[in-house]
A = this chain, B = another copy of it.
Amino acid sequence: MAIDPALFQENERTAPSADQRQFVEVGSLDCETGGHLPAVTVAYETWGVLSPAKDNAILVCHALSGDSHAIGWWERLIGPGKAIDTNQFFVIGTNALGGCQGTTGPDSIGPDGKFYRTRFPVITVGDMVEVQSRVIDILGIDRLHAVTGGSMGGMQALEWTVRKPGRVKKAFVTASCAAHNAMQIGFNEAARQAIMRDERWKEGEYEEGAGPDGGLAVARMIGHLSFLSEQAFDAKFGRRLQNKETPSYHLGVDFQVESYLSYQGEKFTKRFDANSLLYLTKAIDYYDLQSFKGADTDYLFASFTTDWLYPSHQSETLLKMAQDSDLKAEHRVIDLPYGHDGFLLDGDIQGGYVREFLS
């Protein structure tokens, strides 16, 4: 399992921001857990051409910090000639409900002209799918050729297949699971607490530009710690120092890994809303898919040997759940050293499986 350091240079975390976004109003939403949104806007992007029969559409769902710009953060899988071939398929990326990249979320303006902040209702993965399905309706697509996604995106793909039976021919679900285990919830909770214990969080009612950046940066560091494997950390940083030959022996940054985490944390505060992170992590922590009953989708599950955050046995559970419902399914375990980030970094192995699966 040799590591190519260049692979770490670009991934979801450094993807260019969306520049071709469209926005669509999808109406009001009664949320699954009781809240109500009087109006929902969805930001989306598309690549490729919808066939006259409208049977070549693939919906791509993003992970926690992603956005509608799937061709950016999943550039190794999506594009002309790639596994999700935009010469062949009409590919749709949407920003998830509760997000902060154009779709209605806690950082959006409510009907009273003020930011929602924590007046935003708690949302579920089911709510995200409901909102996405209205976009698909508006695009005139009855049945998707495939829904795909990794991590949180994988949960949305799973939910599509049980919530919208008959509308999803195939689902590619990578580095994901049917329900978070205690450790996954724990990592999310530490991230949430980092935000909520920041005095600038102010019970979520911070002013624009005065949010809990310190807590949000720490939350992002906690995330990055869980995205890589021990091997990936070693290959990428080892014990190398940041721009120096000998340690400074102070409390500040000395090691490269410290610099990397701080940089990632800082950068995240420039593009992400703290409350959005709370709502999205809660949605995936609450998610708990019990069965594929009623679904009529073919599944491709993928997992990565060094992904300790979403371990392979969770995808194996998904495979068994699909088989229990007599659905066609396969699970590919990919031996790469990149940890959870493997689902973003691996175009080759994953791509091969996806290409075959979609054909």
Contact = CB atoms under 8 A, between A and B. Distances in A.
Contacts of A185: 239, 255, 257-258
A148 to B, nearest CB: 26
A118 B251 contact: yes
A221 B193 CA distance: 9
A79 to B, nearest CB: 32
Contact of A234 (B181, B261, B262): B181
Nearest to A252: B196
A192 B122 CA distance: 31
Interface in A258-303: 258, 261-262, 265, 278-279, 282, 285-286, 288
B225 A190 contact: yes
Interface in A187-245: 187, 189-190, 192-194, 196-200, 204, 214-215, 217-218, 221-222, 224-225, 228, 230, 233-234, 236-239
Contacts of A253: 189
A186 B257 contact: yes
Given A122-B251, A194-B194, A265-B193, A257 B199 contact: no
Contacts of A215: 197, 218
Contact of A197 (B196, B214, B247, B288): B214
A104 B307 CA distance: 42
A189 B258 contact: yes
A340 to B, nearest CB: 13
Given A218-B218, A230-B311, A278-B251, A237 B189 contact: no
A182 interface: yes
A114 interface: no
Given A225-B190, A239-B288, A261-B189, A234 B197 contact: no
Given A214-B198, A225-B186, A230-B311, A193 B261 contact: yes
Nearest to A286: B247
A109 interface: no
A183 interface: yes
Contacts of A237: 182
Given A179-B239, A182-B239, A225-B183, A230 B193 contact: no
Interface in A146-188: 179-183, 185-187
Contact of A230 (B34, B181, B239): B181
Given A189-B258, A193-B265, 13 more contacts: A122-B249, A122-B250, A180-B239, A182-B234, A182-B256, A185-B257, A186-B224, A186-B257, A193-B218, A193-B262, A198-B198, A199-B214, A218-B218
